[in-house]
């Protein structure tokens, strides 16, 4: 198994991020095959460690990723100035601290100093208060990498789902559903299923936009499906979303393309929230977010669920191995 370096950003310092990070990294088994570096603030970490009474946990303070110890919880200080922790509250300071950690981690990711990035959750209100245009980690990372074809990919043992429209208002969604936009996501999902998940001939379902077949289904969506089939992709649809999820049709497919975020995110989390991650589809590097929120109501109660980060760590290893296998396979085919 290849040894990889994984960077974890601190996320919102007023949430449960540090509690989850420290509890997970206190277990030696998580270091098998990986070196882990937290991008954050040692002072903030110390505050949360004290509040949770984690006496047997200590970070290894380093200045660069090259100094990271393979079997210890490493941390790089990304916040030089004093920062105030206001537990359970959205603040501009928390937003600034989160973006500084994320920016430093992205620099190292682009420079190949780390292999995988796992960003802990942030609060959009805090990010806006800090003056940062932030909708989700995938969008932010795509801008950093200059990637146009991208999407959040919701992944668990039952399904893998992405979506077409970035619009946050339902009144704007239909305007963004074009043949090219739908086809782009079909191609991106097909590529990721092959490269990242080892599916040789992916079978992809496409959802309808509306609750009944209308102009979009008969026009842009049908045209995109037809073009994809002509190019050799195995694509079926469009399916009405209600029937598709209610009848568990998703079990017949390797991946699903929905039309907007809530159309896929809501059933994804309702059907199987456990053992799930949010993968940044279309990026040159592996970026995986744990499926969890900032958890303001749980701060300092020592009750935050640790499994989302554990799942992200082990998924990081799996995806890295699949990408390496695909690269080797395609390399051999060219010989």
Number of helices (H), then strands (E), belonging to the chain: the values are 12, 12
29: number of Cβ within 10 Å: 6
Domain boundaries, the chain: 1-147+283-335, 149-275
pLDDT in tens, 16-59: 999 999 999 999 999 999 999 999 999 999 999 998 888 889 99
Selection from 242, 236, 202 nearest residue 222 by Cα: 236
User: CA-CA distance, 51 to 65, in Å (whole number)?
Assistant: 28
Query: Which residues face 37 on adjacent strands?
Result: 7, 74
Tell me, what's the pLDDT at 327? 86
Within 8 A by CB and 6+ apart from 180, the residues are: 224
2: number of Cβ within 10 Å: 10
User: CA-CA distance, 191 to 194, in Å (whole number)?
Assistant: 5
Q: Per DSSP, which regions of the chain are E strands?
A: 4-9, 34-40, 60-62, 74-77, 116-119, 151-155, 160-163, 203-207, 234-239, 255-258, 277-281, 286-290
User: CA-CA distance, 179 to 70, in Å (whole number)?
Assistant: 47
pLDDT in tens, 225-271: 999 999 999 999 999 999 999 999 999 999 999 999 999 999 998 87
Q: Please, are residues 177 and 216 in contact by the beta-carbon 8 Å criterion? A: yes
Strand 151-155 vs strand 277-281: parallel, antiparallel, or unpaired? antiparallel
pLDDT in tens, 100-118: 999 999 999 999 999 999 9
The CATH superfamily label for domain 1-147+283-335 reads Isopropylmalate Dehydrogenase (3.40.718.10)
Q: Please, are residues 24 and 292 in contact by the beta-carbon 8 Å criterion? A: no
Selection from 165, 175, 240, 162 nearest residue 207 by Cα: 240
pLDDT in tens, 271-296: 766 689 999 998 999 999 999 999 99
Q: Is the pLDDT of residue 333 over 70?
A: no
Q: What is the CA radius of gyration of the chain?
A: 20
Task: Report DSSP letters for 130-186, one per residue.
Answer: TT---S-HHHHHHHHHT-SS-EEEEE-SS-EEEES---SSHHHHHHH--HHHHHHHH
pLDDT in tens, 289-324: 999 999 999 998 888 999 999 999 999 999 999 998
1-147+283-335 and 149-275 agree in CATH topology: yes
CATH architecture type of domain 149-275 = 3-Layer(aba) Sandwich (3.40)
Q: Which residues of 263-278 are buried (b: 16+ CB within 10 A; e: fewer)?
A: bbbebbeeeeeebbbb
**H-run or E-run covering 21:** helix 17-25
């Amino acid at each position: 198994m290849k040894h990889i370096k994984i960077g974890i950003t601190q996320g919102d310092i007023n949430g449960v991020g540090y509690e989850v990070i420290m509890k997970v990294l206190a277990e030696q088994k998580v270091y098998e095959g990986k070196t882990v570096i937290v991008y954050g603030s040692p002072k903030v970490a110390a505050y949360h460690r004290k509040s949770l009474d984690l006496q047997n946990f200590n970070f290894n303070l380093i200045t660069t990723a090259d100094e990271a110890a393979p079997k210890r919880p490493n941390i790089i200080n990304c916040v030089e100035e004093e920062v105030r922790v206001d537990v359970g509250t959205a603040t501009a300071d928390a937003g600034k601290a989160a973006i500084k950690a994320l920016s430093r981690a992205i620099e190292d990711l682009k420079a190949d100093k780390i292999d995988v990035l796992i960003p802990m959750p942030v609060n959009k209100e805090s990010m806006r208060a800090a003056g940062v245009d932030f909708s989700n980690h995938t969008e932010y990372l795509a801008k950093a990498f200059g990637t146009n074809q991208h999407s959040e990919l919701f992944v668990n043992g039952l399904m893998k789902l992405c979506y077409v429209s970035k619009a946050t208002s339902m009144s704007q969604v239909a305007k963004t559903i074009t043949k090219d936009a739908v086809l782009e996501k079909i191609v991106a999902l097909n590529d990721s299923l092959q490269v990242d998940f080892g599916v040789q001939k992916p079978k992809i379902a496409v959802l309808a936009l509306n609750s009944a077949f209308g102009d979009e289904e008969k026009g842009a969506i049908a045209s995109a499906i037809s073009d994809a089939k002509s190019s050799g992709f195995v694509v079926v649809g469009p399916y009405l979303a209600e029937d598709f999820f209610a009848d568990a049709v998703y079990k017949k497919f390797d991946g699903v393309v929905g039309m907007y975020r809530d159309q896929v995110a809501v059933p994804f989390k309702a059907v199987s929230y456990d053992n799930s991650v949010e993968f940044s589809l279309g990026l040159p590097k592996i970026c995986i977010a744990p499926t969890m929120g900032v958890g303001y109501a749980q701060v300092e109660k020592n009750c935050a669920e640790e499994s989302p980060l554990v799942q992200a760590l082990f998924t990081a290893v799996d995806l890295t191995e699949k990408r390496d296998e695909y690269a080797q396979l395609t390399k051999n085919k060219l010989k």
